[in-house]
Amino acid sequence: MAPHTKTYDVLIIGSGGAGLTLALKLANAAHVAVLSKLSLTDGSTFWAQGGISAVVDAQDTIASHIADTLDAGAGLCDPEIVRLTAASGKQSIDWLRSQGVMFTEEQNENGQTQLHLTREGGHSHRRVVHNADATGKAISEALIARARENPHIELFENHNVVDLIVSDKKNPQLQKIQGAYVLDTQHQQVETIAARIVVLATGGANKVYLYSTNPHTSSGDGIALAWRAGCRVANMEFMQFHPTCLYHPGAPAFLISEAIRGEGGHLTLPDGTRFMQHYDPRAELAPRDIVARAIDNEMKKRGIDCVYIDISHKPAAFVIEHFPSIYEQCLKLGLDITRQPIPVVPAAHYTCGGVLTDSHARTDIPNLYAIGEVACTGLHGANRMASNSLLECFVFAERASIAILQQLPTTPLPSAIPDWDESKVSDSDEEVVISHNWDELRRSMWDYVGIVRTDKRLSRAMHRVEMLKAEISEYYGNFRVTSDLLELRNLVIVAELIIRCAQLRKESRGLHFTTDYPETDNRKLPQNTVLKP
């Protein structure tokens, strides 16, 4: 083994809700490293507004949660995965509270304190547990504090994974994951980290689109890492666009929580006319794919830049109490949401597909697990129901911990791992290549592989992606890696996977809508779109 190699029992790539939960559940029995590409709070979990789906109310049922999830997933959910996830909701909430996570509470009619539950699109009951409109922040801060206190967990910020280390590359049957090459972006050097087990908890890939509600870090790293290592991916055509992202040319993208619609917010045209009732009997509470397509259609049909979401008919105190973060953010831009509507547009929000895993988060390659948005578990099918994403993080972190703790005693530490070799590359003198390709890739995906697709648009997108992929590969082979280059290299792979999956699906289902095949094909059992390297 190389002298400078760091060694851990478990290497977790990603510091969001899934990664930190797993680290805490393993720490009593393993030496764990958690890598964060930037700071520990720069992932999607920290910015999650809505909450966690969980059956905690006596008037609600697990069967109802299952039925709602299956309906939103448009026939592609794995019923057993949905069942075990829904059944684990209360247990997940109880564990989070035990870790110090505070959720919004209220007094019931008997004067007793109970969790306040909100309702979001696709849900037939109020079952979203939350902390006002900043649930992810509350979760992240509590779990980070717990992880910092634990002597068996090492947290590394500003560490971006270059590639997974795979043994026996010439013999697929003997391949296993042994660790990762990791760029320490603060010191601009690549480290070798060996581990018995590696876990991908890197989040989604929504920065492949020009407009996204996600933080800059959501560049599909885990999906690309797993694909290059030899794992299958599935259902990448199902990219969820959140219907309501703040439209303000002078401000960065900002999510306007689905909970606003759950609490009675109306979607309107510029003249104040509501329109969702023309698209679905559930109106504003329809699943996200329906609402996003409706908004997209109204904008294109009428030539308008945005639509509006209006909750100003509710008492001002109610709005400020339930949506303090949104209220304050909008107020900074001169928008008082207690008195006026919010301009919104759809934006890329969630990756429903990902690295194919089993019910305990195992991937195709031994010693490699995937949890959270990076994984395709079968929970979301063709469309994720609101607030099932955070639930999935905690449920599958728990299930992965069970499998990993069983595996660790029989999994030896890797040996004879070569150090990273950059002896044949130089520093780049053309950084503009990265920024130009980054912009072209994301703009092409937005224009051709967005909310509404056609065969011609997909073909155009693939042509551009193939050219960019070749150019990026050449650049990667000649110059020392940087964080921007690694993200671009990963994004172009993710773009190709999305397009390939979309081209294979000759129907419209869930989040994948194509005008060439506008109907859902129910003549045969719905099939997942699975790609193999």
Question: Among all residues, which ones are annotated catalytic?
Answer: 288
Q: What gap in Å lies between CA 395 and CA 413, rounded to an integer?
A: 27
**Upper half-sphere CA count for residue 500 (Cβ side, 13 Å):** 16
* Amino acid letter for position 319: V
d(CA 155, CA 138) in angstroms, rounded, equals 19
Q: Which among 439, 457, 438 has a CA at the least distance from the CA of 498?
A: 457
* C-alpha–C-alpha distance, residues 235 and 70, integer Å: 16
DSSP collapsed to 3 states, 116-164: CEECCCCCCCCCEECCCCCHHHHHHHHHHHHHHHCCCEEEECCEEEEEE
Residue 59: what residue type? Q
Span between the terminal Cα atoms of the chain, in Å: 29
Give yes or no for a contact between 466 and 460, defined as CB atoms under 8 angstroms apart: no
Q: Which two tokens stand for residue 27?
A: 């720490």
Alpha-carbon Rg for the chain in angstroms:
22
Rounded Cα distance between 64 and 335, Å, is 38
